[in-house]
Amino acid sequence: MTAGQSLVIVGAGLAAGKAVQELRESGFDGHIVLYGAETHPPYERPPLSKGYLMGTDDLEAAVVHPLEWYRGHDVDIRLGTRVTSIDPGARTVTAWGQQQGYDKLLLATGAQPRRLPIADRSEAPVTYLRTVEDSDRIRSFLRPGRRLVIVGGGWIGLEVAAAARNAGAHVTVLEALDMPLGHVLGPEVAQIFTALHTAHGVDIRVNAVVSSIEGDDGRACVGLSDGSTVEADLILVGIGAVPEVALGQAAGLRTDNGIVVDAQLRTSHPDIFAAGDLANAYHPRLGRHLRVEHWDNAIEQGVVAAQNMLGKSVAYERLPYFYSDQYDLGMEYLGNIGPDGYDRVVLRGNPERGAFTAFWLREGRVLAGMHANDWDAMPAIKKIVGANRVTGDLSDESVSLAEIAANLD
């Protein structure tokens, strides 16, 4: 691409920040315009439910680059500015009534928390967690004796539960399924996290369907379908996220659980790319489309999208990876079980002591692996999952994971 060309990025999250960095590091010296609806420069979101929420990490540590970096790299960054339309034919975007032309466009608008209408209609103190301001509100609430009700037992809900208990608040988690994280980890491993939170005093209620929410004088009463009620000073709704596809839909881009892109992160229009939480990308290794809402995916897709905007043809083949910190348990997970599920789980180590590894298999092939408090295991897990074939006997703990991984060479 030449210096006279313009690249526009809509959405100023982690994927966008990494895309801008890659564009400049790859030698592109043309015009870059970065639009962000928030007033902050691109930042990482995991600290919002972890260190930043607990007050152990500063926001600066989560920022991809300070504002001065964008100015110093000649990036036209327009924060607090929401793009309202895209015209693929004219190659323009419109924000605040002003049009901006582009040669290539990257959509990185991410996702928004899935709303709970019964909560939004109530006069109860209700919050979601997506932005710095959301995290600030929750952090200001976390005090000894405060009562927090979390609707949804996913990763964000459980991480906030851990932070709240560490701050001395009372926590009730309302999970609509049989157990928190059951749909992600399966019952064999999910029950370990349930036991962890129960041991730390969290009141976990499963098969819990919210039937009413009433607010009075800054407090809330949550009614459940079984007739029971839970009192709260604050309700956090964490029931998933919805990709921000409105711009793409209005522009005629193909959508299906996100903006549909190919392995190079190109949308149905050749000059428009998508990356991060909203991209439903074709994964060459898995042989299907996959939308991933995790930190690592946003980083790496931002880089690959930037490379392909510059004319390369780089396929995004990285396996999904995520991590979580809850109390004194830190974990990392790699892989994807997929729609066909697994037929076996292998646990190694001692979950009761807080250090173990787990593998999910189907017909002998390892689909995914994770560790908890066994940081030295991750290189072997990456190799075992990445081999995409039948391994040795993972249940034989007399053979180390490193040895099993070495035998895959």
Task: Please give the full DSSP string across 169-184, using - where no structure is assigned.
Answer: -EEEEE-SSSSTTHHH
Beta partners for residue 126, in sequence order? 235
CA 255 to chain centre: 19
Q: Which H or E element spans position 191?
A: helix 187-199
Report pLDDT for 300.
98
- Tens of pLDDT, residue by residue over 258-286, are 999 999 999 999 999 999 999 999 999 99
Q: Give the whole-angstrom CA distance, residue 95 versus residue 12.
A: 14
| Angle, in degrees to the nearest 10, between helices 155-166 and 187-199 | 20
Which residue is it, tokens 């040669």?
Answer: 103
Report pLDDT for 352.
85
Report the range of poorest mean pLDDT among 74-78, 229-233, 247-251, 391-395: 391-395
Q: What percent of the chain has pLDDT over 90?
A: 94
Rounded to the nearest integer, the mean pLDDT of the chain is: 96
Whether pLDDT at 1 is above 60: no
Whether pLDDT at 392 is above 90: no
Report helix, strand and coil shares of the chain as percent, to nearest 5: 30, 30, 40
Both tokens assigned to 328: 């004194």
Q: If you average pLDDT over residues 34-38, what whole number do you get?
A: 97
Q: Which ranges constitute the DSSP H helices of 74-171?
A: 117-120, 132-141, 155-166
Whether pLDDT at 2 is above 70: no
Q: What percent of the chain has pLDDT over 70?
A: 99
Q: CA angle, 366 as apex, 363 and 371 as ends, to 5°?
A: 140
Report pLDDT for 126.
97
Q: Give the whole-angstrom CA distance, residue 127 versus residue 140.
A: 12
Whether pLDDT at 15 is above 90: yes
- Tens of pLDDT, residue by residue over 325-378, are 999 999 999 999 999 999 999 999 999 888 999 999 999 999 999 999 999 999
Q: Sign of dihedral through CA atoms 321, 300, 239, 171? A: positive
Report pLDDT for 3.
60
Give the CA count within 13 Å in the CB-facing half-sphere of 60: 2
Report pLDDT for 191.
96
- Tens of pLDDT, residue by residue over 247-259, are 999 999 999 999 9
Q: What domains, with CATH codes, occur in the chain? A: 6-112+241-309 (3.50.50.60), 115-237 (3.50.50.60), 328-406 (3.30.390.30)
The SS3 assignment for 68 reads helix
Whether pLDDT at 388 is above 90: no
Strand runs (DSSP E) across 266-354, as ranges? 272-274, 279-283, 288-291, 321-326, 329-335, 344-350
- 203 vs 15, 147, 162, 282, 283, CA distance in Å? 36, 11, 12, 40, 39
**Strand-strand pairing, 229-232 and 219-224:** antiparallel
Q: Give the whole-angstrom CA distance, residue 190 versus residue 177.
A: 12
Report pLDDT for 389.
79
What are phi and psi for residue 218, nearest 5 degrees? 80, 10
